[in-house]
Structure 1
């Protein structure tokens, strides 16, 4: 009988996969022996596999290069990383090895940009695309960057007042973009994004505030939808409306030469995940060219802003199952030695699902379970996988420790969870490892942060001042 966990996986998915395999009967991730990590560092444990950041950037660059060649497209492609996905220095250092650009979201982002410039990681030629709703400090910091000679700093106008605020603090001429307030999917609670300026208002806004303003040069139209790049009617309809605005603007604004199609490439959230990235990129480039050719305008340079796609698939978290609670006839709760709310907050906040697999005991029989976190909050749980409506794991045995891993967790979880700060029920943040490869391809591991101690939390709370 096929009753082992490995049998369940083999019957359900194509396995092994590019990043997942078994070595010595335990799970390996990109060749990393995860049980060795657990044995050396313990659990709970978080890690970042840095090479995957460069891998994904290069994949996207290759897709766009191929699409530009296939479609005889005259514009250039620029890859931007959204720093809000993960601001950590080790992430930016890895990403910037790949000749990319930066997208910022708030005032302190500009301080990070300036620190990277001081270290020679970026130059005045690096595009710094500044999104977000801008007020005092953000405007001041953008102006400082531009006044200090950063040629390719492009603030994206989000509302009608920002242009004047920027003009007051920037000494000379400067470039801007305009963000389109796209319409949201019908299932959303609201119809139009709160970010940007409405489709119908962009050309009038350009004519009234930019066209005859000798200090400002419009370079970019910015298009982004919340649900990301998907092959569905909603995405293609919104892109078509965006292109109509672009071509209308281009006819009256010769300086406009760039279209930012935002980001939102999906990342793997299941062993059953499928997405034809190459087709989507080719079709986007093709659609842009078709509309521009029909309207008789030059095609734009294409910018993308990939955050989760850049860093998401580099991250992972490992927990130990401490205990099993049988709460009724059908529900078995496996209690982990950490908290989902604090370490993987998107599982709680937006019901996000990550790839979840046991690290060891793949040769054992399996059972259906629910996963519970340590906090005293009823919402601290994880109960289903993206590809099925249940979780199956090797059967609990108090004499045989079980470790489970969540993968592709590298975007947003640390910042939303408040890295280094207070956690719900004072559950400590786990230790965090950085995993890289040296010039010969050998794995190297560095401890980035220790697990939080009682003293750390008491100091924040004012008990140990």
Structure 2
């Protein structure tokens, strides 16, 4: 009978795949023996395969280069990395080694930019596109960077006040972009994105606040929708609406020369994943050229801001199955030695699914199970993935250890999970004040914790110098692992 786990995979998917293969009865990921990784470091374990970051960047550059050549497209392509996906220094170092640019979303991002500039990883020629809703600290950090000579720092205007706020703090001329407030799919709870300025208001906004301001030049129009880049009527309709705004602006604004189509490339979340990236890039470039030719305006430089696509497929998490609980005649719960809520929060917060595979015991028979985390929260579970609302794993055996891996988890999990005190978009944890009564019943207050500072988060992210002992220990461990794998 074909009742082994390897049989299930062979019957359900094309396997092996470029990043996954079975060798010596254990799963290998990009030729890395994952059981050796577990034996070396233990589990639970998270890992980042840095070469995949460069691999995806170069793939995207090739797709756009091919499309530009095919359609004789006049313009440049600029690949930006959306830093909120993962701010860690090792991620930025790897990404920036590919001659790319970055997109920021909050004040502390600009402190990271300064740290990277000091190391020579970023230069004044690197585009720093500053998105997001901007208040005092973010405005002042953008202004400081531009005032120090980084003219390729381009704030993307998100609301009507930002032009005046930036003009007050930036000494000379500066360039800006405008973000379009895209209309959401009908299934959303709201009709229009809270980010950016509405389609109908962009041209009047340019005429009233930018054209009349001698310090400001409009360089870029920014377009992004929450559902990402998909081959469906909704995406193409929104892109065409964006292009109509772009061409209308271009006719009255000669300095406008760039279109930022944001991020949104999906990443592989199943062994059955099928997305034609090259076709989508080809068609996007084609549509932009068609509309610009029809309106008789120059084709724009194209910027993208890929975040999850850049870093997502580099990450993984490995857990050990501790125990199996049979709660009724149908449901078997395999308990992992960690928590989904804390280590893979997207599975809990937005019901996101990742590729999940056992690391070992592929030639054992399998069973249907649910996966439970260690917390006492009833939502700390994972119950579906590529097997259509079911999880199949090698049968639990208390005498045979079973390890499972979640793959392509490299985007957002650490910040949303609060790694070391990180928060999403590096928004600092606020000051915490305790209110208490004294013996006389009078109220008093005291500060329990101050608001996080930039240096607190930069230290967690790896932008502080490491000791010689740490570097030596890291090198020895890496040598040991390389020899074993």
- TM-score, normalised by the number of residues in structure 2: 0.87
How far, CA to CA, are the matches of 2:96 and 2:38 in structure 1?
30
How far, CA to CA, are the matches of 2:208 and 2:97 in structure 1?
41
Runs of 4+ in 1 over 2 A off after TM superposition: 444-447
How far, CA to CA, are the matches of 1:145 and 1:74 in structure 2?
30
1:284-295 to 2 correspondences below 5 Å: 284-295=284-295
Report if aligned partners of 1:221, 1:246 keep a CA contact under 8 Å in 2. Answer: yes
2:72 corresponds to which residue?
A: 72
2:470 corresponds to which residue?
A: none
1:16-165 to 2 correspondences below 5 Å: 16-165=16-165
2:464 corresponds to which residue?
A: none
Pairwise CA distance, 1:151: 1.6
Name the SS of the counterpart of 2:22 in structure 1: strand
2:224 corresponds to which residue?
A: 224
Report if aligned partners of 1:331, 1:369 keep a CA contact under 8 Å in 2. Answer: yes
1:188 corresponds to which residue?
A: 188
Report if aligned partners of 1:81, 1:306 keep a CA contact under 8 Å in 2. Answer: yes
1:364-375 to 2 correspondences below 5 Å: 364-375=364-375
Pairwise CA distance, 1:116: 0.4
Pairwise CA distance, 1:422: 9.8
The runs of 5 or more residues in structure 2 that have no matched partner are: 424-460, 462-476, 481-485
Name the SS of the counterpart of 1:318 in structure 2: strand
Q: Is residue 344 of structure 1 aligned with residue 344 of structure 2?
A: yes
Pairwise CA distance, 1:344: 0.2
How far, CA to CA, are the matches of 1:327 and 1:275 in structure 2?
39
1:381 corresponds to which residue?
A: 381
Output one character per residue of 1:235-291: Cα deviation in whole Å (capped at 9) or x when no partner: 000000000000000000000000000001000000000000000000000000000
1:325 corresponds to which residue?
A: 325
Q: Is residue 215 of structure 1 aligned with residue 219 of structure 2?
A: no
Pairwise CA distance, 1:387: 4.5
1:296-307 to 2 correspondences below 5 Å: 296-307=296-307
Name the SS of the counterpart of 1:316 in structure 2: strand
2:454 corresponds to which residue?
A: none
Instruction: Report the CA distance shift for 1:372/1:446 in structure 2 as closer, same or farther (over 3 A).
Output: farther
2:267 corresponds to which residue?
A: 267
Instruction: Report the CA distance shift for 1:445/1:237 in structure 2 as closer, same or farther (over 3 A).
Output: farther
Report if aligned partners of 2:414, 2:422 keep a CA contact under 8 Å in 1. Answer: no
Pairwise CA distance, 1:386: 3.7
Name the SS of the counterpart of 2:370 in structure 1: strand
Name the SS of the counterpart of 2:66 in structure 1: helix
Report if aligned partners of 1:272, 1:387 keep a CA contact under 8 Å in 2. Answer: no
The runs of 5 or more residues in structure 1 that have no matched partner are: 424-431, 433-443, 448-465
Name the SS of the counterpart of 2:335 in structure 1: strand
Name the SS of the counterpart of 2:97 in structure 1: helix
Provide the aligned length of Structure 1 versus Structure 2.
429
Name the SS of the counterpart of 1:420 in structure 2: helix
How far, CA to CA, are the matches of 2:257 and 2:76 in structure 1?
10
1:277 corresponds to which residue?
A: 277
